[in-house]
Amino acid sequence: MERDYVKEFEWFHSHPEVGFKEFETTERIKQILREENIEEIPFDLPTGALCIIRGNKKGNNRLLRADIDALPMEEKTELPYASVNKGVMHACGHDAHIVMGLMTADILNRNRDSVCGNVYVLFQPGEEVFDGARAVLGTKAVDDIDEFYAYHVNPAKETGVLELKEKGVTSSVDRFNISVTGTGAHAAMPHMAHNPIYTLSSMVEAIETRSGRRIDAFTPAVVSVTRINAGTTWNIIPERGEFEGTVRSLDEDARRQIKEEVEQIVRAYGMLDGVKAKIRWQEGSHIAYNDADLYLKSVKLARELGYRYDSGENIMIGDDFGDYAPYGSGKKSIYIRIGSGKGYTYHHPEFRVDPAVLGKGAFFMSRLIMSS
């Protein structure tokens, strides 16, 4: 490939934009697609892009997702190509995903005789805000896709080391907010009040200790209460308080069971303490789930190409790629993590990606797509 994709990576890294505001990013992606004679197709969202490589052989339609948004945080890497947009940073590797997506499209476009069916490459906005995939699905642009692919850099592994595993890869992500309305009073007269703090405390303890009691101990699931707010000062019993948190799981049945248990806890303590309890549940992304056949193909290919790989560890980080996966779209999918050099973890102000991962990731993914 004649294009210097490392320079493109540096440009994307230095020009980060947050979800659904990736206008400059989108224009640069489209410019590169035009210059490389890769066919762009209509995409009915303000940001993001979709291209197609029309294979010369019959086969399934496949889509490679590359997320493009950054995070609202200040960069502290001191890289020569650090962010020029104050308060915004590519701290999750989406800049690398953009370039690996472009490189994969370039490779496939130059080898159409070896491509079966149509291959789409989607440069998806809004992954970090967990609305991007659902916005894309709402456009109907990917309705004819049979298989979905994605990769994600991994700062816990050396550059180019693959993480290949079957079934759940990233967790489902749900958010809950629970509010309690009681009766306020002077702190010296608790008998005149229905103190929401007592109820909130009981609920938090019960949710943290009991919400997973129906879940198999070997099923990865996490319930975390992360914020609690009630009261204004030391001598007033407040009328209202609230807390919120998240549920993560690699099993859809566990996900459903935890939700049911939390709802039962909220109802029970609300009735017991004579207060009004309300729960708002926001369902986030589904589990990114690796199809068995695609997983076996990826392992076989890694061996053939001499890539180092392992099965990695379960992590409770979410990715809205799960909405393209079986529990979301009902289609086959595979999500591969690839080492980008050991260093600071995701969403850290000093997170960085070894540019050497770009070629390694694009080459592996293009071969995997051509082998399917």
Same domain, 241 and 343: no
As given in the structure block, the two tokens for residue 16 are 């980060």
Residue 266's pLDDT is: 97
Q: Is the distance from CB of 262 to CB of 204 less than 8 angstroms? A: no
Residue where a domain terminates, one of 253, 283, 313: 283
Same domain, 329 and 362: yes
For residue 326, pLDDT beyond 80:
yes
Residue 213's pLDDT is: 75
Whole-angstrom distance, CA of residue 262 vs CA of residue 207: 6
φ/ψ (deg, to 5) at 287: -70, 130
Residue 201's pLDDT is: 97
Same domain, 165 and 177: no
Residue where a domain terminates, one of 226, 251, 283: 283
Whole-angstrom distance, CA of residue 201 vs CA of residue 276: 15
Instruction: Look at strands 172-181 and 162-163 and give their pairing.
Output: unpaired
Amino acid at 61: N
pLDDT in tens, 260-291: 999 999 999 999 999 999 999 999 999 999 99
Q: What is the CATH number of the domain that holds 106?
A: 3.40.630.10
pLDDT in tens, 196-228: 999 999 999 999 888 777 788 888 899 999 999
Domain extent for 135: 5-170+287-371
Q: What is the CATH number of the domain that holds 178?
A: 3.30.70.360
End-to-end CA distance of the chain: 23
Q: Is the distance from CB of 363 to CB of 304 less than 8 angstroms? A: no
Same domain, 159 and 183: no
Residue 216's pLDDT is: 84
Same domain, 242 and 187: yes
Same domain, 110 and 44: yes
Residues in the chain: 372
Same domain, 158 and 29: yes
Residue where a domain terminates, one of 283, 308, 329: 283
The pTM assigned to this predicted structure is 0.94
Same domain, 127 and 211: no
Same domain, 155 and 245: no
Same domain, 74 and 26: yes
The number of domains in the chain is 2
Q: Is the distance from CB of 315 to CB of 195 less than 8 angstroms? A: no
Same domain, 293 and 347: yes
Same domain, 46 and 140: yes
For residue 22, pLDDT beyond 80:
yes
Residue 152's pLDDT is: 98
Compute the half-sphere exposure of residue 86: CA atoms within 13 Å on the CB side of its CA.
Answer: 0
